[in-house]
Amino acid sequence: MTSLIGYLSASKQALKNLFSKPVTVMFPAEHVSLPKGYRGTPVLIPEKCTLCMKCERVCPTGAILIEKLDKKNGYFTIDIGKCCYCQECEKACNFDAIHLIDKWLTASDNKEDFVTKHFVQRNGKKKEE
Q: Which residues make up the interface to other proteins (CB under 8 A)?
A: 1-3, 5-7, 9-11, 13-15, 17-18, 20, 22-28, 32, 35-39, 58-62, 79-88, 91, 100, 104-111, 114
Closest CA to 97 of 65, 69, 55, 59: 55
Q: How far is CA 86 from the centre of its chain?
A: 9
| Closest to other proteins by CB, 73 or 99 | 99
Report the C-alpha gap between 44 and 37 in whole angstroms.
Answer: 17
Minimum Å gap between C-beta 101 and other proteins is 12
| Closest to other proteins by CB, 45 or 58 | 58
| Closest to other proteins by CB, 47 or 56 | 56
Minimum Å gap between C-beta 85 and other proteins is 5
Minimum Å gap between C-beta 43 and other proteins is 14
Minimum Å gap between C-beta 75 and other proteins is 18
Is residue 55 classed exposed, middle or buried when 0-12, 13-18 and 19+ CB atoms within 10 A define those classes? buried
Q: Is 105 helix (H, G, I), strand (E, B) or coil?
A: coil
Q: Taking the C-alpha atoms of 64, 69, 70 and 71 in order, what is their torsion angle to the nearest 10 degrees?
A: -20
Q: Is 119 helix (H, G, I), strand (E, B) or coil?
A: strand
| Closest to other proteins by CB, 105 or 125 | 105
